[in-house]
Amino acid sequence: MNTEFIKKHIKYVLPAVGIGIFILLYLLGIWFFQSHFVPNTKVGAISVSQLTLENAQAHVQKELEEQQVMLTENEQELGYIELSQLNVQSDTTAILQQLLEQQSAAKWPVYLFASPQSVEQLDEYVTFDSSMIEGLMASVGVNNNERTASADAYIGISEAGVYQIKEEVYGQQISATSFESALEKQLENGKNSLDLASAYIQPLVRQDTAEVTDLQARLDKMQNVAITLKLDGESIVIPSDEIASWIFVDESQEPQVNVELIEDYLYGLNETYASLFKTRQFESTYQGTVTLEPGTYGWYIDRYTEAENIAANVLAGEDATREPAIGGSGYGVDISDDIGASYVEVDVYHQMMTIYIEGEVALQTAIVTGTPGTNTVPGTYQVWNMEEESTLVGYNPRTEMDYEQPVDYWIAFDDQAQGIHDANWQSSFGGEAYLSNGSLGCINTPPGVMPDVFELVYYGMPVVIF
């Protein structure tokens, strides 16, 4: 009867026993994996499954020390090394503790088929002795002095004189750091060979690196700027190669513009176009048409102000067409007529000074100009300073002495200390008085006439000397 009962109920008993065993195993697994790592837990390629935290750390260290790696280069085998030769050290306790706390013991059967979170980046937890790596490199014939060094991509000057990207250089030198990094990657992948090519020091900056391409784009924009100066009726297009020569990259890899070079360029334009540097034909009172030498009168490009303006355009990569900053007098007026109808005329040959106001003679007087050796310098000037009760100070090359000379009126017109002033020490004016008792270059004027001169003359008034 018992046999019949068993036969009758066996189809129910066996599944129940199987389910019970499965539940028991599952519960035992939950208990076990409270303190042990679940299946498929790895540190790099090293399995720590079913190990406790303490045993896992010891196991990782032991596996690393016993790991053998074949070194190769250019498809040639250089020999095996054991990581113990490099004094490999691992410190995975903290990360393993974290993994143990994060794993779910209740899901341990799932991990038989799917890996839980593992330690993949060994470089944070494994170190080697740098000095031993250097010794190892020497033993397998790696001599950096005989190898090409890598070099970063950079912005440099081309043969055409413009900035362009210079490609990076990939060398074959190896450092302890680059070798260690390559070795750690191989260990993470579970490989037991290392091609030294993967340990070559790599350039940090490549031709497609954003900082390089961004800088090149900015330089291209700067080097292609179009700047046209509208100068006294003429259009002057600054050549692109000229602009390119002003651009440079500083030590911080920032584009800059050499303002001094722009000033030099504008000085050249002044020499060609500015009336300040040109001679003039002039209808004089006593000599007819004379040639006036350049002086301080005339217009010119204010090269300091304009250089800053141009530099700002270039730095911003902005095209510009404009009239440049202008200084001086007479801009926009034909040089044959830029002196105008009101001026002071000093005729050295006739020793006469004539003041014209609106084309009419307002004053004429005999004068004494510079003695030969300290001649009054011919030129086209303009009044820039006027003083009453002034003291003239300077050095007399004839007496080789300093002097201080009070005057009632002083009118300065050039940048060499020439001026018009009263001279009560002169016994006569005009004629040949200047040959024996001339000035140091100034226009000595009779004291009785000087108040009228001072009244007629004004700031900016042209003074022509010939």
3-state secondary structure the chain: CHHHHHHHHHHHHHHHHHHHHHHHHHHHHHHHCCCCCCCCCEECCEECCCCCHHHHHHHHHHHHHHCEEEEEECCEEEEEEEHHHHCCEECCHHHHHHHHHHCCHHHCCHHHCCCCCCECCHHHCEECCHHHHHHHHHHCCCCHHHCCCCECCEEEECCCCCEEEECCECCCCECHHHHHHHHHHHHHCCCCEEEHHHHECCCCCCCCCHHHHHHHHHHHHHHCCCEEEEECCEEEECCHHHHHHHEEECCCCCEEECHHHHHHHHHHHHHHHCHHHCCEEEEECCCEEEEECCCCCCEEECHHHHHHHHHHHHHHCCCEEECCCEEECCCCCCCCCCCCCCEEEEECCCCEEEEEECCEEEEEEECECECCCCCCCCEEEECCEEEEEEEEEEEECCCCEEEEEEEEEEEECCCCCCEEEECCCCCCCCCCHHHHHCECCCEEECCCCHHHHHHHCCCCCEEEEC
CATH of domain 224-328: 3.10.20.800
**So where are the chain's domains?**
12-146, 224-328, 343-465
Residue 5's pLDDT is: 59
Question: Using one digit for the tens of pLDDT, what is the confidence trace for 83-117?
Answer: 999 999 999 999 999 999 999 999 999 998 887 77
| β-bridge partners, 463 | 344, 381
Residue that the structure tokens 């108040």 belong to: 451
- This prediction has a pTM of 0.66
Burial of 447 (0-12, 13-18, 19+ CB in 10 A): middle
The CA-CA-CA angle for residues 397, 402, 407, to 5°, reads: 105
Contact status, residue 422 vs residue 409, Cβ threshold 8 Å: yes
d(CA 68, CA 223): 56
For 343-465, which CATH superfamily applies? L,D-transpeptidase catalytic domain-like (2.40.440.10)
Neighbours of 330 (CB within 10 A): 24
Residue 12's pLDDT is: 63
Q: Single out the residue of 409, 449, 413 nearest to residue 430, CA to CA.
A: 449
Both tokens assigned to 117: 């979170």
Residues in the chain: 466
d(CA 159, CA 163): 9
Same fold, 224-328 and 343-465: no
Residues 6+ apart with CB under 8 A from 386: 409, 410, 411, 412, 454, 457, 459
Neighbours of 443 (CB within 10 A): 26
d(CA 23, CA 17): 10
Neighbours of 402 (CB within 10 A): 9
Q: Single out the residue of 306, 339, 346, 315 nearest to residue 443, CA to CA.
A: 346
Neighbours of 239 (CB within 10 A): 11
Residue 232's pLDDT is: 87
Q: Single out the residue of 80, 65, 201 nearest to residue 140, CA to CA.
A: 80
Phi, then psi, of 402 in degrees rounded to 5: -75, 155
d(CA 64, CA 358): 103
Q: Which amino acid is at 243?
A: I
Which residue numbers in the chain have pLDDT < 70? 1-14
Phi, then psi, of 235 in degrees rounded to 5: -105, 120
- For 355-369, b/e burial (b = at least 16 CB within 10 A) is bbeeeeebbebbbbb
Phi, then psi, of 324 in degrees rounded to 5: -70, 170
d(CA 373, CA 440): 8
d(CA 349, CA 277): 24
